[in-house]
Structure 1
Amino acid sequence: MSIYQITSESVTEGHPDKICDQISDAILDAYLTQDPFSHVAVECMISQRLLVIAGEVKSNAIVDVEKIARETLVKIGYISDEIGIDAHNCYVIQNIHQQSPDITQGVLKESTEIGAGDQGIIFGYACKETDQLMPLPITLAHQLTKKLTELRKDGILSYLLPDGKSQVTVEYTEDGHPLRVTDIIVSTQHRANISTQQLQSDLLVNLIKPVIPSSLLNEQTKILINPTGRFVTGGPKGDVGLTGRKIIVDTYGGLIPHGGGAFSGKDGTKLDRSGAYMARYAAKNIVAADLADRCQISVSYAIGIAKPVSYYINTYGTEKIPLEYLYAAVTTIFDFTPKGIIEKLELRKPIFSDTSTYGHFKNNQYPWEKINQVELLKELRKVVI
């Protein structure tokens, strides 16, 4: 018996907000490549023919920020104002300055300890709905937008343009198991000479059917492709983009709370990002070790203080061992101090550009996606039981 539905969305790399995320993370990686101890917090705003890059940096690196931004736009496919913006001729304004000494003194201690760069609350989550231990709605939504970009870049549907988004609704049984997909929405930018009918037919065959498992579809599933009928003006020409405005797309699709802090453009000393990665790492290993079917972890920090202020674990009643033992595991096996996170998850390396599209928890090669604490956690279960 079904009881509830969950909807999640994703956007393509050509979406204005995602353009800004990609530029911010490309700049971050450039600083880390030269100076792994760089402190970076860079954000962008993009609109018609204009890109603004601003932020705070403490680094020994010398980075050509404008060059990186233009190269990123070319890689996405924005090479003319007609499409959305011209990477070669758009205006680029920079306002990057030194990190505030007030923040620096809180982050850099006299010892090797690193303090939290700001106060904040972060969340991590894992569940058994997919092989990635991610919720099914956001997983399917990302697969649609990623495939949409592949169809464009591979020339299979050459009339597609960079901007686009998807939305997937999944119906669940009373005990929390996915039952079926009830609604699919895809909106994609396209060239003006393509009819809505052709677009809908092509995407049904080349996008929807290859991505969405037939076992999740039935005759009641609603599929909407470009429901307004036309999407020619897109990208920065159609809408303003900002770094960090797709935080739900970046994480779990709205299934759990979000602390509010964005990820892209921030180095590992920023707990908005690194803390959320560690919380995902802990939750994923707990679920992979079969200590719970679902696990949400929340951690809070105070600026300048290394150790977290608080921990909260929610397994939605699916825990296989008493919760007090899960708390003990999280607080002892997983080091949530900034220094511990940075070292364990290798966050001084320039590994962030790939995370800026299609979710931050998609690739098992990311250090925070590895399930390498499972055996230790399984031993805990043996001791408890």
Structure 2
Amino acid sequence: MIEKVNPKHPDKISDCIAGAIVDLAYKKEDEPKIAVEVLIGHGVCHTIIETTVKFENKEIEEIIKRIAGNVKCDIMVVEQDEHLSKNQEDEIRCGDNGIFKGMPLTNEQIKLSKIAKDIYEKYPFDGKYILDKDRLIICQSNAKTEELKKLYPKAIINPLGEWIGGTNVDTGCTNRKLGSDMADSLTGGGLHGKDLSKADVSVNIYVFLKAQETKKEIKLSCAIGDTEIDGKPYGEIVKIAKEYIDSIGGFEEFAKWGLF
């Protein structure tokens, strides 16, 4: 059983805004330190950014409006805590405590991911999808139910009727759809809105990739300040995660669908 939401779901809009701000941070600095939280809904987007990077509010507003449309922007940018900043002064160290479990994807999870992306290509609007063995549930806004029924005749489609969706119907918040992003993998933190020194990003990516390669469950934990995880220097974990993020086009692209 698995759920996926698409990039126009309010929670994913929040993730994408946070990801785009992290992308901007990496354009400004080689190794930025940043954590972004976004809450959006009903015409307002609240954004809190803790960072070493100097941003102009106008830059952040442009990102929010590009992704979310014409909303009121409430933006707060503060310097990252000095203790967290000092943790990274001498070398790349683990930037957070964390627990992580990477799991190989199942055929069911791969199948639903493809269904979600196929529907989104035709209907790029707020949508949520569930697959439980042979039971497929499709909730897709801005789409005719009969049209979807032709594509997926056995599916349960829009049980409450056709709907509009988006941030005027529901609120969105960063890192609220981790099940959709990670399938059966597990984390104590969130994937989105953080730089790669944060274990929530780098170690989660690392254990997921290792689980796909080995076809085995991978469990790891770390403490803030660790210089080694899974027998590797933490800098190597960060490098693997950075290569993955670069390969898919950046943190905003990563936020759209998560790890699968």
Residue 96 in structure 1 maps to residue 69 in structure 2:
no
Contact persistence 1:268–1:342 (CA under 8 A): yes
Q: How big is the alpha-carbon RMSD for the aligned residues of Structure 1 and Structure 2?
A: 2.1
User: CA–CA distance in 2 between the matches of 1:96 and 1:360?
Assistant: 28
Q: Give the secondary-structure state (helix, strand or coil) at the position aligned to 1:138.
A: helix
Could you list the per-position Cα deviations for residues 330-385 of structure 1 after superposition, in whole angstroms to 9, with x for gaps in the alignment? x45xx2x4311122333685722211122324xxxxxxxxxxxxxxxxxxxxxxxx
User: Counterpart in 1 of 2:235?
Assistant: 339
Query: Partner amino acid for 1:205?
Result: K
Contact persistence 2:140–2:158 (CA under 8 A): yes
Residue 69 in structure 1 maps to residue 64 in structure 2:
yes
Residue of structure 2 aligned with 1:163, choices 108, 126, 129: 126
Alignment of structure 1 residues 113-192 onto 2, 5 Å? 113-126=91-104, 134-153=105-124, 162-170=125-133, 182-190=134-142
User: CA–CA distance in 1 between the matches of 2:113 and 2:257?
Assistant: 5
Measured after TM superposition, the shift of residue 249 of structure 1 is 0.5
Q: Give the secondary-structure state (helix, strand or coil) at the position aligned to 2:242.
A: coil
Q: Give the secondary-structure state (helix, strand or coil) at the position aligned to 1:235.
A: coil
User: Counterpart in 1 of 2:9?
Assistant: 15
User: CA–CA distance in 1 between the matches of 2:242 and 2:123?
Assistant: 33
Residue of structure 1 aligned with 2:148, choices 192, 203, 206: 203
Residue of structure 1 aligned with 2:191, choices 228, 252, 263: 263
Could you list the per-position Cα deviations for residues 255-276 of structure 1 after superposition, in whole angstroms to 9, with x for gaps in the alignment? 34x1231111111101011001
User: Counterpart in 1 of 2:176?
Assistant: 245
Q: Which runs of 4+ in 1 moved over 4 A?
A: 60-63, 347-350
User: CA–CA distance in 2 between the matches of 1:343 and 1:150?
Assistant: 32
TM-score (norm 1): 0.62
Q: Greater Rg, structure 1 or structure 2?
A: 1
Q: Give the secondary-structure state (helix, strand or coil) at the position aligned to 2:202.
A: helix
Residue 305 in structure 1 maps to residue 226 in structure 2:
yes
Measured after TM superposition, the shift of residue 100 of structure 1 is 0.4
Residue 352 in structure 1 maps to residue 251 in structure 2:
yes
Measured after TM superposition, the shift of residue 39 of structure 1 is 1.0
User: Counterpart in 1 of 2:159?
Assistant: 227
Question: Percent sequence identity over matched residues?
Answer: 25
Query: Partner amino acid for 1:165?
Result: K
User: CA–CA distance in 1 between the matches of 2:127 and 2:241?
Assistant: 32
Which moves more between the two structures, 90-99 or 135-144?
Answer: 135-144
User: CA–CA distance in 2 between the matches of 1:97 and 1:230?
Assistant: 42
